[in-house]
Structure 1
Amino acid sequence: MPVTRRTVLQVIPELDTGGAERTAVDVALALVAAGHRAIVASQGGRLVGELVAGGAEHVTLPLKRKAPLALWRNAQALRHLVRAEGVDLVHARSRAPAWSALRAARTQGVPFVTTYHGIYNQSNAAKALYNSVMARGDSVIANSRYTARLIAERHPFAQGRIAVIHRGSDLAALDPASVSAERRRDLASAWGLAGSERVILNLARLTHWKGQLVLVDALARLSLSSEAPAGWVAILAGDAQGREAYVAELEQRIAAAGLADRVRLVGHCADIGAALALADVAVVASIEPEAFGRAAVEAQAAGVPVVATNLGAVPETVLAPPDVAEDERTGWRVPASDAGALAAAIAEMLALAPDRREALAGRAHAHVSAHFSVEAMCAATLAVYDRLLAGR
């Protein structure tokens, strides 16, 4: 049957870096591939080029602003956009623009969808009210079962409208076979790698809750261990997004541990496939719960042994005892903020025999392929749109 062409507007503060931003682009491109029209409104960012090159459209609006007057103005701008462009459905991916988008969608009589991407701070009633917009969608998408339970607990009125759609990654692009030798060489050169190092990789924006300070403490223990393999280098790849005080704190911790020649802060990494192809171990050191945890999934897709802190959705993405048998393990899980446990897990992974590493990589790849592909995520999201738009 011919496709009924629909126009879907997604709103997000910016299109720079992060899981929500990546997901917005992936869904927009899937809409275009399915014969629909996709518009993303944001303040802009490094992903706009990819979005537009894929046939979607971008509208620049100051959607990162949170002041009440700014929210009202953005609501007016979005209402005009919905009416002028014939938007059939609005999908919000962050709280501030969601308040504006909710008003625009309701006044124009179009379905409103939200995706709960993060574990938002909810320390008081005002925060609870602010967060509640993400549970006010006609469909509320949770990016993990952990997130779905949190939404139901915090916002009981949303029960019955929550749909779990795990965040998806481009698994084919992460396959080491798809990463050229040239890409590997270019990134190794940019990171100052000679090629003989064992690479411990942390892919996360530089912010306190991502646990880089705990990782540095673990690496200090690793450097003093007689049981840990030698010749390792740690790469902390992530955008500081203006957190210069945190960067300075990290640099001081690294220097104090005597690790200045072994731990490198390399900034944002645009080529995740090449980064993982260079890695021997991937570390997710978050000290607060991850709503999903894309970095752990992508490491497994690339066949890189991963250790992640046992918080949030990690038990869904990384299988480990006691939840599964040892021969079903896909990675390691350790307590949050435990530098000793993290160091021990990294040492164990660096020492894996080739046959164990190969078997682990096979199980991990099968796990993420079955549950966390970008194709499955986009198909499930478009199915939510179809359900809400059916009969309109």
Structure 2
Amino acid sequence: MALPPDFTLLQVVPELETGGAEQSALEIARAVVRAGGRALVASRGGRMVARLEADGGELVAMPAHSKNPLVMLGSAARLVELIRREKVSLVHARSRAPAFPALWAAHATRTPFVATYHGIYKAKTGLKRWYNAVMTRGDLVIANSDYTRAHVLAEHRLDPAKVVSIPRGVDLARFDPDRIAPERVAALGEAWGIAPDDARTKILLAGRLTRIKGHLTIIAAAAKLKAQGRDDFVLLFAGDDQGRTDYRQELVAAIETAGLQEAIRIVGHCDDMPAAFLLCDLAILPTTVPESFGRAAVEPQAMGRTVIAAAHGGTMETVVDGETGWLAPPSDADAWAAALAKAIDVGPEGRARMGSIAMARARRLYRVEAMCEATLKAYERVLEARA
């Protein structure tokens, strides 16, 4: 779609290391540039900056991650100056902490403000609910799934017209099995210690090393499979600990205590997720709290891989139980052991049949182009309302 002349978008995100909000920021920046506009991203920076700049986006380095009130006030002043100097057309916040200075700057400059609800934020106190509500104080709220939209409406009592659901998109050019050279898969297998003739079912849990991702549930489930005499699987935990060294050590200790050193490997951050999904036979998303969308359940399906996901949150929309994968109760090690056993026993042919259905559905419903087009239309709607 055509953007207004001289359109400049400013997105604010804490950092550009890894994650769904960060990936969406890059995808929208690229779409804006391709549509003839400018795309600025205010952030602390990180490993994804190179991709942003390669796509024509521009980093504005600042401590957008900080929750320190004085730092936030300083960031607001910098953003006011930036908005005026660069003639920013619209501000888009993707996280709560940077949303405060971004909202203040947008109000001070009378610039349209949009926020995306990327997660289900808990609020046990009025103060926390007020903190979360910063994402709803602009012109429009974008929810990354129907599940998230329902939560926002229930939590904040907003006019339904102010909240639009735009599901996360998958870059189908990047996550295309036909475009992945075998050398990439082989190199990743070597780096992770997976021999080419390893006949075990390879199961990938992709996500940062944090308790809510459900690693401990899977370790307990794997221990149950081992107790049944099974040694026909290997689990790969791919993700950063992001400084959570205590949790990483807890996982290592749990693996050693269960005697699962040969069955579970913590392989660290992965820069080539398409190759990772091809290397593995099955992807899992055992989150202990509901995912607002669950990109790690959709990307492997786009690659033709079956998925087991926790039966709550956005994954209830993206995984069709028994058709494109399986759903299992969160935090239930017995149920996860049974689901893993079922997925292993279906065999390569059974998983391939399900994977083909999963690929067709994911490519129909979750194209990144559709997400970008809907987001740019949301921008157009806000600009027209302001005009």
The whole-number CA distance in structure 2 between the counterparts of 1:158 and 1:128 is 17
Within the candidate set 174, 196, 216, 1:213 is matched to 216
What is aligned with 2:85?
84
TM-score, normalisation: structure 2: 0.96
Deviation, structure 1 residue 160: 2.0
Residue pair 2:66, 2:72 contacting (<8 A) in 1 also = yes
Amino acid at match of 1:216: I
Corresponding residue number in structure 1 for 2:236: 235
Query: What secondary structure does 2:158 align onto?
Result: helix
Matches within 5 A, 1:116-195: 116-195=117-196
- Offset at 1:299? 1.4
Q: CA deviation at 1:352?
A: 1.5
Corresponding position of 2:377: 383
- State whether structure 2 residue 344 is matched by structure 1 residue 350: yes
Aligned to 2:14: 13
Question: Residue deviations 1:342-379, cap 9 Å, x none?
Answer: 11111111122444323211211121112111111111
Contact 1:28 1:51 (C-alpha < 8 Å) held by counterparts = yes
Matched, 1:317 2:311: no
Q: Which moved more, 1:350-359 or 1:171-180?
A: 350-359
> What is the count of residue pairs matched by the alignment?
383
In structure 2, how many angstroms separate the alpha carbons of the residues matched to 1:2 and 1:89? 15
Q: Give 1:233 shift.
A: 1.4
Match of 1:105 in 2: 106
CA distance in 2, matches of 1:2, 1:148: 27
Equivalent residue of 1:29, what SS? helix
Q: Distance in 2 between matches of 1:146 and 1:247?
A: 30
* Separation in structure 1 between the aligned mates of residue 117 and residue 138 of structure 2, nearest angstrom: 10
Q: Contact 1:281 / 1:346 at 8 angstroms: preserved in 2? A: no
Report the equivalent of 1:200: 203
- The structural deviation recorded for 1:315 is 1.0
1:174 shift after superposition: 1.7
Q: Distance in 1 between matches of 2:363 and 2:262?
A: 37
Check whether the contact 1:211–1:337 (CA below 8 A) recurs between aligned residues.
yes
Q: 2:357 aligns with which of 356, 363, 366?
A: 363
Secondary structure of 1:148's counterpart equals helix
The structural deviation recorded for 1:5 is 3.2
1:190 and 1:357 mapped to 2: Cα distance? 25
**Alpha-carbon distance between aligned partners in 2 of 1:69 and 1:355, rounded to the nearest angstrom:** 58
Gaps of 5+ in 2: none
Contact kept in structure 2, 1:140 and 1:158, CA below 8 Å: no
Which residue does 2:245 correspond to in 1? 244
Q: Which runs of 5+ in 1 are unaligned?
A: 321-325
373-382 or 165-174: which moved more? 165-174
Between stretches 365-374 and 15-24, larger displacement belongs to 365-374
Matches within 5 A, 1:44-63: 44-63=45-64
Contact 2:2–2:35 (Cα < 8 Å) also in 1: no
**CA–CA distance in structure 1, aligned partners of residues 37 and 299 of structure 2:** 28
Which amino acid in 2 is paired with 1:87? V
Deviations 1:64-108 (A, max 9, x none): 111211211111111111000000000000001101111111111
1:338 is aligned to 332
1:12 shift after superposition: 0.5
